[in-house]
Amino acid sequence: MDEEEIKYFVRIRNTDLDGTKAVQIALTGIKGVGPHTSRTIAALAEVDPHAVLGRLDDGSIERLSRVVETYTSLVPPWMVNRPKDIYSGEPRHLLGTDLLMMRDEDVNRMRKIRCYRGIRHEMGQKVRGQRTKSTGRTGTTVGVKRKK
């Protein structure tokens, strides 16, 4: 491949990644892949994490996509984003639309069993114990009125 040629879009896991960025930065464009996971994927695929993604040869891109697909089986269970799936009990690493659908499914399950978090999700309130006295207000604004 000529040094001047660059692929501006590289498609991995049904996601268009920016080919002008470094591999470790570009891989974070996939939902479910953060900075640590992207460096791990680059190391497992034997690709320089600082190399520009669009300048890689087709073999390297193929290795990257293969590692992304088989990431769960290549890393220990503590490195995946779902260490114990509630249905299968197996460790899984969800990516892209699978991650979004599973998150919605988890929230709906919490609503259905009427747990505290599910009720907070239903009401549109903060879920993780944050203060709500002054932030997270919705609807009409409550504040100090200025005199005319």
Q: What's the token pair of residue 13?
A: 């896991």
Give the span between the Cα atoms of 66 and 13, in whole angstroms: 9
> Which residue type, as a one-letter code, is found at position 132?
T
Give yes or no for residue 3 having a pLDDT over 60. Answer: no
Q: What is the pLDDT of residue 136?
A: 82
Give the span between the Cα atoms of 133 and 79, in whole angstroms: 36
What number does CATH give the domain 9-78?
1.10.8.50
Is residue 15 a contact partner of residue 96, using CB atoms and an 8 Å limit? yes
Q: What is the pLDDT of residue 44?
A: 96
Band the pLDDT of 68: cuts 50, 70, 90: very high
Q: What would the pLDDT profile of 11-66 be if each residue is shown by its tens digit?
A: 999 999 999 999 999 999 999 999 999 999 999 999 999 999 999 999 999 999 99
Give yes or no for residue 1 having a pLDDT over 70. Answer: no
Q: What would the pLDDT profile of 81-139 be if each residue is shown by its tens digit?
A: 999 999 999 999 999 999 999 999 999 999 999 999 999 999 999 999 999 888 888 77
Q: What is the pLDDT of residue 50?
A: 96
Give yes or no for residue 72 having a pLDDT over 70. Answer: yes
13 closest CA partner among 68, 91, 81 = 68
For residue 31, what are the contacts with CB-CB under 8 A and spacing of at least 6? 15, 95, 96, 97, 99, 100
Which part of the chain has CATH 1.10.8.50? 9-78
